[in-house]
Amino acid sequence: MELRQQALRALRESDPRAKAAQARALHGMAGQLPLSPSAPPPPAALPGRPERPRLVHPAQVPRRSPGTPEGLAALLHAIAHIEFNAINLALDAVWRFEGMPEAFHHDWLRVAAEEAFHFTLLADHLATMGHAYGDFDAHDGLWAMCEKTKEDVVARMALVPRTLEARGLDATPQIQRKLRQVGTAAALRAVEILDVILRDEVGHVAIGNHWYRHLCEREGLDPVAHYGALVERYAAPRLHPPFNFDARRRAGFSEAELAYLAGSPDLSSRP
């Protein structure tokens, strides 16, 4: 029972609820498990995932209004898919990267457990609406970046938690406003779930920021300049406003990083 082997076992699990349960259980026992300095051999295919949802090009995922029951279910399914992938991303960081402090592995196991909780909240809510995870098509953008950065822990920290996952800090308040306008019991319950997700995601992005800066300092890299280089090297998505500057500051982004993000020389007075 070694922690990195157990993280890989959970990553390979194809049943979403079983994966979520394994991630949470592993986090609860992490302090009792030894941590190997070397990663276990990678399997042929990762991650474990169910046959559904069908994975399609992002442009083929239909956009639906949350003002209808079907549209609301589709929106929540899309968020559940993000959370399912976030479990995988965190577990992958736990088992894959060598030469990192023990705290790195424990931080990402905590993230995996919290993402598992988010997924379970959403899957349970979908069930009350007569739907299940897998009912709607989805895309594989998050895991694709995970694959691209599997040989470079600096790039992984820069481009997954600090870029792709940080988009949730910007998007969640906008989604919540739309759901409040819908005003149904199902939509308002979704707002409550998103409150939990947004609170925890600030901490997850902060973990990404912490380890990205740790690695940049260790390797003598300028965090802002190197981030721009990584965006180009790995063809990361360009981020567009509006940005949630308050949440990003709480997640540890510096004023220089926020200025780079927004293409502005001075953001110190922005809320």
Strand partners, 55: 138
- Express each pLDDT in 204-248 by its tens digit: 999 999 999 999 999 999 999 999 999 999 999 888 889 999 999
Examine the pLDDT at 267 and tell me if it is beyond 60. Answer: no
- Express each pLDDT in 110-151 by its tens digit: 999 999 999 999 999 999 999 999 999 999 888 999 999 999
Cis peptide before 242 (omega within 30 of 0): yes
pLDDT given for residue 45 in this prediction: 86
Examine the pLDDT at 271 and tell me if it is beyond 60. Answer: no
pLDDT given for residue 82 in this prediction: 96
% of the chain with per-residue pLDDT over 90: 84
Examine the pLDDT at 31 and tell me if it is beyond 80. Answer: yes
CATH architecture of 3-34+60-262: Up-down Bundle (1.20)
- Express each pLDDT in 56-96 by its tens digit: 988 888 788 899 999 999 999 999 999 999 999 999 999 99
How far is 256 from 87, CA to CA, in rounded Å? 30
Tokens of 145: 């970046």
pLDDT given for residue 270 in this prediction: 46
pLDDT given for residue 58 in this prediction: 86
Whole-angstrom CA distances from 123 to 11, 16, 82, 116, 148 are: 19, 10, 12, 10, 28
How far is 196 from 124, CA to CA, in rounded Å? 15
Question: Any idea where the domains of the chain sit in the sequence?
Answer: 3-34+60-262
pLDDT given for residue 268 in this prediction: 40
How far is 158 from 94, CA to CA, in rounded Å? 16
